[in-house]
Chains A and B, each alone.
Chain A
Amino acid sequence: MKSNAIEAPWERIGHFAVRALCVGVLAFLLLPIVAIVPLSFSSSSFLVYPVPDWSLRWYRELVESAEWIRAAQNSFIVAPAATLIATVLGTMAAVGLARVRFRGKDALLSVLIAPMIVPIVVVGVGTYLFFARFGLTDSYAGLILVHAALGTPFVLTTVSATLQGFDHNLVRASASLGAAPLETFRRVTLPLIAPGVISGALFAFATSFDEVVVTLFLAGPAQVTLPRQMFTGIRENITPVIAAVATLLIVFTTALMLALEWLRGRRATVAR
C-alpha cells in the first residue's frame, strides 16, 4: 500500500513480509516451468541437476522419433480444425446474444458455458458412449468435434466481453448507408471485434492443444496427440525427450500468450 510518512516499524516489517510472500508465490508459479528447460539440453539421460554437459541429443531423438512426429502432426490437425469450428460458432452466438434480452437467456448462457465446468472425464465417457454408435470413436472427426465443443465457451465469453464496448450506432450508420446486414458484419463489426475473436480462438486452440482426457477415451492409435503421447511417456518412463517436448511447448504457448497480451493491449487502445 502507499507508504505513509508515519509508518510504524512493525508495519514496515509486515509489508516486507507480504511482499516477500508474493515474490515467493510468483517464483512458485514460474520456476518449475523454467527449471525443466535446461535439462532438455543435458547430455545425461537422467533428469537431474547439475547438468554434466550440454547437448542437443534429445532434440535429435525427438525429431527422429516417428511417434512424436506423428503426435505433433495430429495435434496440428485436431487443434486448428477444432479452433475453426469453435470460433465460428462461438462468435455467431456472441453476436446474436449481445443486444437482446429474453426469458431464459441466463439459463441458455449457463448451458453454453457448461463445457468449461463439466468434469472432463464425464465428457470423455459420455462422448465415447454416444459417438461409438456413429463410428466416431478412433477418428479425427470425433476428436475434433468434442475439442471444438470444449473451446466454444472461451470464444463466447471473450467475444461477448469485446462486444460490451462496441458502439452499436456504427451498425445503424452502416445500415442507413445501404449496407446489407452481412456486409455490415464483415466490414464494420468484425474488424472492430477482431481482437476478441482472435483471443477467443487462441483460448480454443490452447484448450484443444492441451486436452488429454477426452483423447484418452476417443482417440485410436492413429490419433495420438502431443499431450496423449506425453501422458504415456510420463506414465511409463520419463526421459529427457519429455523435457525437450516440454521446452518446445513452453516456447510455443508463451508465444501464443504474448500474442494474446498484445491483442489485449490493442483492444484497450481501440476502446479508447
Chain B
Amino acid sequence: MEAVADTMVDVRAALRRDARRRTATALLLVLPLALFLLLTFLVPIGALLWRAVDNPEIARAVPRTVAALARWDAESPAPDAAYAAFVADLLALREQTDAGMLARRLNTEVGGARSLVMNAWRAQPLPATGDAAAVRAQLIALDPRWEEPWIWQAIAKNGARLTPDYLLAAVDLKRTTDGSIVTMDADRSAFRRILARTFGIAAIVTAITLVLAYPLAWWLSTMAPRRANVLLIIVLVPFWTSILVRVAAWIVLLQSGGLVNQTLRGIGLIDEPLALLFNRTGVVIAMVHILLPFMVLPLYSVMKSIPREYVRAAVSLGSHPLAAFVRVYVPQTYAGVAAGGLLVFILAIGYYVTPALLGGPEDQMLSYSVAQYANVHLDWGMACALGSVLLAATLVLYAVYRRFARMEPALA
C-alpha cells in the first residue's frame, strides 16, 4: 500500500518535473526572438518615449543658473545671483556649439533668445566677475533685454531634466510660467486638429471598407469553397502588391486626364475633370483599396462558420427574409465586424505613405507630423511626443482588439 503511494508521489513529481522542463524548453526557444525584439523594437520605442520628455540642453548647459533660479517667483526681477551664475555658466561653455545648442533650445521657447544668448557668450569674459550686482549691470549694459524676466522664465521653466512640455504641446496644451496648464492660443495650436483629422479619415475609411466588404464576404461565404478560393485570390492580389505600386496606379487613374475622369466624361456625367488627386478623395479611395482585404478576410472567416439554419428557421416561422437577415444573421457576424473594423481603424491611424503621396497639405495625418518634425524641423522632442500620442492611441485600440477578437491580426 505504502509502495503504491510512493510510486504515485513519484509519478506526480515526475509529471511536474516534466511540465517544468517543457516550459523551460519553451521559454528557451522564445528567448532569442524576445531578446531580438527587445533590442530592435522595444528599446527603440522606449528611446522615442524617453526623447518625448527628455530636456537635457538647459540643465546641462547652465546648471548654476538653474540652481540660482530655483526659488525665484518668476515675476519679480531675477536675483543678482542668477546673473552671476549665468555668466559663470557661459564661461564654462568652451565650445561655440555648446552655446549654440543652448541658444537654439531657448529660442524654441521664446523668440529672440538666440541672439541674446549668443551675444552674451561672445562678450565673455566680462571685466568684473566677482560682485553679482556688477555682473548684472554689465549684462544689462550689453543688452537691455537682460533686465526683462522672459529669458529667465524660459531657463527656470526648463531647468528640470524632464519636461512635460512636448507631450502637452502634442495635444495643444502648454505650461505657463506659474506652472498651470492652459490651452494653447488658437493661432499656435494645430495638433488637436490633426489628431481629429487622423481619427476622422480612419473612421471614414473603416466605414467604407465595412460597407464594401460586408456583402462581398457574405457572397463569398455562400459559395462552394473552391470557387470562393479563386475569388479570394482577387482579394489577396492587392494585399500582396506593393503599396507604392498601388499609389502609383491610383495617381495614373485619378489624375485629371486619367481613366476615371476620361470614363466619366465619355459617358457624359461630367464636363470638367473632377479633382480626385492631392485631396481627401484620393487619400480615402487609396486607403480603402489598401485596407479592404483586412476587412474582407475576418468577415469571411466568421461568416463561413455561421450555420444557415437559423435564418431559415426565422423565415419558416414567418419572418420577412430581410428582417430575418438583419435580426438573425447580422448579429452573428458582430465578432467579424468588430475584428475587421478595429484592425482597419488601427492600421489606418498610422498611415503615412498614402496621404503623403496622394493628399494635399490639409489631408496629412499624425504620422506625417511626426516625420515632418523629425526630418524637416529637426525637433526630435516634438516628433517623439507626437509619436507617443499616436502610439498610445494605437495601443489602447489594440488592447480592445485583443479583448474583442481573441485572434491574431493575421491574414494567414
CB of B383 closer than 8 Å to a CB of A? yes
Complex Cα–Cα for A249 and B241 (A): 7
Please name all residues of chain B whose beta carbon is closer than 8 Å to the beta carbon of A121 when the two chains form the complex: 350, 352, 367, 370-371, 387, 390
Complex Cα–Cα for A253 and B329 (A): 37
Q: Which residue from B308, B353, B370 sits with its C-beta under 8 Å from A231?
A: B353
Smallest distance from the beta carbon of B323 to chain A beta carbons, Å? Answer: 13
- Chain B residue nearest to A121 (CB atoms) is B367
A96-B30, A130-B43, A203-B412 given; A118·B243 CB < 8 A:
no
Q: Which residue from A25, A149, A231 sits with its C-beta under 8 Å from B357?
A: A231
B240:A206 contact, CB within 8 angstroms: yes
Please name all residues of chain B whose beta carbon is closer than 8 Å to the beta carbon of A28 when the two chains form the complex: 212, 289, 292
A246-B248, A256-B240 given; A100·B33 CB < 8 A:
no
CB of A243 closer than 8 Å to a CB of B? yes
B40:A146 contact, CB within 8 angstroms: yes
CB of A123 closer than 8 Å to a CB of B? yes
Q: Interface segment, B168-176, B249-257, B332-340?
A: B249-257
Complex Cα–Cα for A151 and B322 (A): 44
Complex Cα–Cα for A267 and B242 (A): 26
- Chain A residue nearest to B292 (CB atoms) is A29
CB of A78 closer than 8 Å to a CB of B? no
Question: Quick one: CB contact mask for B227-242 with A, threshold 8 Å, 1 for yes?
Answer: 0010101111110111
CB of A18 closer than 8 Å to a CB of B? yes
A117:B409 contact, CB within 8 angstroms: yes
CB of B215 closer than 8 Å to a CB of A? yes
- Chain A residue nearest to B398 (CB atoms) is A117
A118-B391, A157-B410, A253-B241 given; A32·B253 CB < 8 A:
yes
A125:B235 contact, CB within 8 angstroms: no
Question: Quick one: CB contact mask for B283-327 with A, threshold 8 Å, 1 for yes?
Answer: 000000100110000000000000010000000000001100000
Instruction: Give me the interface of B with A, judged by CB distance under 8 Å.
Output: 22-23, 25-30, 32-34, 36-37, 39-48, 51, 212-213, 215-216, 218-219, 222, 229, 231, 233-238, 240-253, 255, 257-259, 262, 289, 292-293, 308, 321-322, 346, 349-350, 352-353, 356-357, 367, 370-371, 374-375, 380, 383-384, 387, 390-391, 394-395, 398, 402, 408-410, 412
Smallest distance from the beta carbon of B205 to chain A beta carbons, Å? Answer: 14
A residues 190-217 in Cβ contact with B at 8 Å: 199-200, 203, 206, 209-210, 212-213, 216-217
Complex Cα–Cα for A28 and B46 (A): 40
Q: Which residue from A110, A157, A216, A226 sits with its C-beta under 8 Å from B371?
A: A216
CB of A163 closer than 8 Å to a CB of B? no
A125-B370, A149-B37 given; A199·B353 CB < 8 A:
no
- Chain B residue nearest to A99 (CB atoms) is B22
A249:B245 contact, CB within 8 angstroms: yes
A212:B243 contact, CB within 8 angstroms: yes
Complex Cα–Cα for A226 and B242 (A): 10
Complex Cα–Cα for A240 and B234 (A): 25
CB of A93 closer than 8 Å to a CB of B? yes
A210:B383 contact, CB within 8 angstroms: no
Complex Cα–Cα for A243 and B250 (A): 11
A123:B41 contact, CB within 8 angstroms: yes
A29-B234, A146-B40 given; A11·B29 CB < 8 A:
no
Complex Cα–Cα for A99 and B27 (A): 11
A121-B390, A253-B240 given; A36·B245 CB < 8 A:
yes
A residues 26-52 in Cβ contact with B at 8 Å: 26, 28-30, 32-33, 35-36, 39, 46-49
Complex Cα–Cα for A48 and B251 (A): 11
Q: How many residues of A contact B (CB 8 A)?
A: 97
Residue contacts A-B, CB under 8 angstroms, 27 given:
A22-B215, A22-B219, A25-B213, A26-B234, A33-B238, A33-B245, A36-B248, A49-B259, A89-B33, A92-B32, A96-B26, A100-B22, A110-B398, A110-B402, A112-B33, A118-B395, A119-B387, A121-B371, A122-B48, A157-B410, A158-B410, A199-B412, A217-B375, A227-B244, A230-B242, A235-B356, A257-B233
Q: Which residue from A26, A111, A200 sits with its C-beta under 8 Å from B37?
A: A111
- Chain A residue nearest to B368 (CB atoms) is A121
Complex Cα–Cα for A95 and B25 (A): 10
A119-B390, A129-B51 given; A234·B247 CB < 8 A:
yes
- Chain B residue nearest to A258 (CB atoms) is B233
CB of A242 closer than 8 Å to a CB of B? yes
B408:A246 contact, CB within 8 angstroms: no
- Chain A residue nearest to B399 (CB atoms) is A110
CB of A161 closer than 8 Å to a CB of B? yes
Complex Cα–Cα for A227 and B247 (A): 11
Complex Cα–Cα for A147 and B129 (A): 56
Complex Cα–Cα for A205 and B244 (A): 16
Complex Cα–Cα for A117 and B408 (A): 11
Q: Which residue from A18, A26, A126 sits with its C-beta under 8 Å from B387?
A: A126
Smallest distance from the beta carbon of A29 to chain B beta carbons, Å? Answer: 5
Please name all residues of chain A whose beta carbon is closer than 8 Å to the beta carbon of B215 when the two chains form the complex: 18, 21-22, 25
Smallest distance from the beta carbon of A40 to chain B beta carbons, Å? Answer: 10
CB of A84 closer than 8 Å to a CB of B? no
Smallest distance from the beta carbon of B61 to chain A beta carbons, Å? Answer: 21
A29-B235, A29-B237, A130-B47 given; A125·B244 CB < 8 A:
no
Smallest distance from the beta carbon of B169 to chain A beta carbons, Å? Answer: 16
Complex Cα–Cα for A221 and B176 (A): 43
A93:B383 contact, CB within 8 angstroms: no
Please name all residues of chain A whose beta carbon is closer than 8 Å to the beta carbon of B353 when the two chains form the complex: 212-213, 231
| 8 A-B pairs with the lowest CB-CB distances in the bound complex, closest first | A96-B29, A119-B350, A126-B44, A126-B48, A157-B410, A121-B367, A93-B33, A130-B44
B23:A210 contact, CB within 8 angstroms: no
CB of A5 closer than 8 Å to a CB of B? no
Please name all residues of chain A whose beta carbon is closer than 8 Å to the beta carbon of B32 when the two chains form the complex: 89, 92-93
A127:B40 contact, CB within 8 angstroms: yes
Q: Other CB < 8 Å A-B pairs besides A97-B29, A118-B394, A123-B41, 16 of them?
A: A25-B213, A47-B252, A99-B26, A102-B26, A111-B42, A112-B37, A119-B352, A119-B394, A121-B387, A121-B390, A122-B391, A129-B51, A145-B39, A148-B40, A157-B408, A216-B375
Complex Cα–Cα for A157 and B322 (A): 38
Please name all residues of chain A whose beta carbon is closer than 8 Å to the beta carbon of B402 when the two chains form the complex: 106, 110
A161:B241 contact, CB within 8 angstroms: no
